[in-house]
Copies of this chain bind each other. A is one copy, B any other.
Amino acid sequence: MIIVMQQNATAAHIDGVISEIRKAGLQEHVSRGAELTIIGAIGDENKLDLAHFEIMPGVERAHRVAKQYKIVARATHPQGSVIRVRGIPIGGEQIQVIGGPCSVETQAQMDESAAAVAAAGCRMMRGGAFKPRTSPYAFQGLGVEGLEFFQRSARQHNLPIVTELMDVRMLDTFIEHEVDVIQIGARNMQNFDLLKEVGRVNKPVILKRGLSATISEWLMSAEYIAAGGNHNIIFCERGIRTFETAYRNVLDITAIPVIKRETHLPVIVDPSHAGGKAWMVPALAQAAVAAGADGLLIEMHPNPCEAWCDADQALTPAELKQLMTTLGAIAQAVGRSI
């Protein structure tokens, strides 16, 4: 930690800071400049509380220099992790496209969806049985029955399933129904009790970025899961909230190379929720692959006009299939495959 003293800080102020540093078992290193004195605290920075230094008399401000995430940091696993979902690798040379509808509606809809997902060449499937909805009066998902419809359809095509867990009390049900990948939604990225619980199971977790979560907060949320023992974490960028109103969210493409540099874990992208309109999905999906994403979550519905939610962001089966071809060509251009 670095503590910058105020210009008018006295010797007593400086001694106060030094004494606090030593009390925590660290060592100080004092740089006296013409204008400012700067004090470095050498040792385990986690033993120091930034806020405590910031209220000490004579202190201008304090900075942390060490990163607070450890297990997920790339330094612990420099070559990059590959997460396997029933044998399918996420984070390696092959890019995974996870297709499927926003929400599970009926057995027939899921059967059609699963067939279309497989036909397009995707190796995994998404679908929501529990839906986070802004309004209490909106469709909240089919619940457990939805999980059953989903699993039944997906198994016919040997597709591992990805679905969102919102309530910590449903975790056992997810395990009983053999959900392959647990998705933590954007609104729950800092639901710390939920993170702790999924940290205790041995299931891959897709951790969506919160609508206005910083990269650093997102990494710390992954660290919550990892600290519980579950290191099978996949980051998912899904658009951030900004001042722009012409589209739902702004897909933060820069997050891809940054997350890949900071952690050893894979990062995928959800272009459907980001833009909010089906016609934007191809451009965003293509950009994500070109920028180095390890996978995509893409909404597809056998009949978007009949979809029970987010109808305007789902691709048709034909559109998904065509997009897969373009994505394959881009993957190749960046030395990967799809």
Binding site for B on A (CB under 8 A): 2, 4, 7, 29, 31-36, 38, 40, 42-46, 49, 51-52, 54-56, 63, 65-66, 68, 75, 132-137, 166-169, 187-188, 190-193, 196, 211-212, 214-217, 220, 223-224, 227, 240-247, 250-254, 256-258, 261, 274-275, 277-280, 283-284, 286-292, 304-305, 307, 309-313, 326, 329-330, 332-334
Contacts and interface: CB of A to CB of B under 8 A. Distances in A.
A191 B188 contact: yes
Contacts of A244: 214-215, 240, 252
A109 to B, nearest CB: 15
A254 B242 contact: no
A305 B132 contact: no
Contact of A7 (B31, B75, B188): B75
Contacts of A196: 136
17 contacts: A33-B40, A33-B43, A40-B40, A51-B307, A52-B305, A52-B311, A55-B311, A135-B220, A187-B191, A214-B244, A250-B254, A253-B287, A257-B279, A261-B279, A286-B290, A287-B291, A329-B332
B243 A241 contact: yes
Contacts of A135: 68, 220, 223
B246 A215 contact: yes
A256 B227 contact: no
A65 B43 CA distance: 21
A172 to B, nearest CB: 13
A247 B254 contact: yes
A54 B311 CA distance: 9
